[in-house]
Amino acid sequence: MEIVAFCCQWCSYAGADLAGTSRLKYPADIRIIKIPCSSRINPTFILKALSKGVDGVMVAGCHPGDCHYATGNYFTRRRLTILKRLLEFSGINPERLQLYWISAAEGGKFAESVRDMVSRLERLQDKPFPRNPGISL
Amino acid sequence: MKNQSYVELTNILKQKIDRLLSEKIVDYMIVYEKGSLWFKTRPKMIRKQTDMEKVIWNRYCQFNLSTFLKSLSGKDENIGIIAKKCDLGSIVELIKNNQIKKENLYILQVACDGVINWQKLENLLGTKVAKAIEVEEDSPNLVIKMPERNIEVLKNDCLPDKCLICDFQPSPYANDFLTIVDEKIEDIKEIKSQPLPNLEPLDNMSYEERLGYWLKHFSRCMRCYACRNVCPVCYCSTCMFDGQEGLWISKESKTSDNYVYHLTRAFHVATLCVECGECQRVCPVNIPLMKLNSKLAKEISDTFGYQAGLLIDDLSPFKTYCQEDPDEFK
Ligand code: SF4
Ligand code: SF4
Ligand code: SF4
Ligand code: FES
């Protein structure tokens, strides 16, 4: 399974670091990309990853109220709520996109979130975006 | 509206523009002029009163002139623009998003009771509209005068979707509203108001079928970007899909990249789109883009109770937040 994880540098990325230094086990299916804040996410990042055929995209940011830029994650929450509806409408199961709130002290929650993402994706019946969508589709 | 009413309205319009230019209320005016064929129109910017005879107003003025305001923002000139009721929505969005200053703009709204989408008319006729000589209105029908005979079609069948839900009323943001007494305008109001094309066929599909539906359409897209360029509210001066460096998607028209382009485009204008239908109208390969736009508009209105293009003082839901927003995440 392939999951792309966009983690905000102040909380979730630090949380992932903590999960590593605490030697917590979590599925090795994720590729982490560090972003300054969860609100740095442009829908294109997510769409591009999905269109390459990855199974899921997870976005992780500070807990609502704890964003290091004060309010960034409130905006992320609004945008991704709508983006999920758009994905659903255009034929991608919205479960393939998840947003998690993980603080720098929550190494355990980080590992837990990755497990959650993997188990959600394993349950899906539909296929991810085809690797080579031909004209004949 | 009868042909005669259009002629009279055009005359009133010319007088008005003449005054606006001579009194220097505006530096130039964005208007419609006659296009390459009798049922086509094109945009024109006039600065001199001698250009006045080019100004027209008829039922073929379908496109939205406000898309030209995008590239004019930042210049310190007063611009006059002819607008239909539906065009006011995108002008409101441009003002709201600081693309143009209200005080630099003179909005001249002209009475409109529906514009003809000539592609729809052509489909109904089964022959080129160019073969016809003239169209006259005989409410609720249009009479198409062909060389041999007259063909009658229901006017509503030739209108773009937006006209079916339009109220024709003057907008509070228009500086002036030009109208004429025409009993036909009243007639049409009663028989219109059909619901917009719904999204149900897609709602009932499985994810695979839906993805297949869209990829089939997107595979035809040649990324001419006409849908982006024509959109009155797609106003970034540098688009993330242009330029040589740091390409997000390839220049080649690959179906998967087209998917990224289309969903991004729809999402970027999600809170701005006034559902004018221009993007879909200009697409040379008939991709049903309005389905994406309407879906997003519906989700935004359901979730945040917001509708684009209504009030200048409304705040876009993506520019604000609320601590109590729905949170489906963990
Ligand atoms: S939507 Fe209304 S104002 Fe716009 S073209 Fe149709 S009838 Fe005219
Ligand atoms: S106008 Fe049509 S073909 Fe051109 S980029 Fe848009 S969807 Fe693709
Ligand atoms: S309908 Fe299309 S052209 Fe019109 S505002 Fe919406 S996205 Fe832009
Ligand atoms: S800095 Fe972490 S979400 Fe904004």
Interface contact A133, partner B, CB < 8 A: yes
Task: State pTM to two decimals.
Answer: 0.91
Residue B137's domain spans which residues?
A: 129-157
Closest CA to A91 of B218, B13, B318: B218
State in Å: Cα A68 to ligand 4 middle: 5
B329 domain residue, yes or no: no
Atom of ligand 1 nearest to the CA of B87: 4
CB B257 within 8 A of CB B225: no
B153 and B171, same domain (yes or no): no
Report the number of distinct structural domains present in chain B: 3
Both B232 and B294 in a single domain?
A: yes
pLDDT digits (tens, 9 = 90+) for B217-268: 999 999 999 999 999 999 988 888 887 665 788 888 889 999 999 999 999 9
Chain CA centroid to CA B38, Å:
21
Q: Is residue B66 located within the same domain as residue B169?
A: yes
Probe target for ligand 2 pocket from B63, B222, B261, with the most ligand atoms within 8 Å of CB? B222
Q: Do B164 and B89 lie in a common domain?
A: yes
Q: How many CB atoms lie within 10 A of CB A135?
A: 9
Q: Which of B316, B327, B330 to mutate to test the interface with A (most CBs of A within 10 A)?
A: B330
- Among B188, B208, B230, residue at a domain's last position: B188
Dist. CA B278 → ligand 3 center (Å): 6
* Residue B124, in any domain of the structure: no
The tokens of A79 are what? Answer: 């945008």
Indicate if ipTM > 0.85.
Answer: yes
pLDDT < 70 regions, chain A: 133-137
Residues (pLDDT < 70) of chain B are 73-74, 182-200, 244-246
Q: Is A51 within 8 Å of B270 when comparing Cβ atoms? A: no
Residue A75: list chain B partners with CB under 8 A.
318, 321
Residues 6+ apart with CB under 8 A from B31: B17, B43, B44, B45, B46, B54, B55, B56, B65, B82
Same-domain pairing of B177 and B299:
no
Cα(A99)–Cα(B303) distance, integer angstroms = 18
Whether residue B276 has its Cβ less than 6 Å from ligand 3: yes
Is residue B250 in a domain?
A: yes
Whether residue B325 is contained in a domain is answered as no
Inter-chain touch B329–A100, beta carbons under 8 Å: yes
Tell whether B9 and B138 lie within a shared domain.
no
Residues B70 and B97 grouped into a single domain? yes
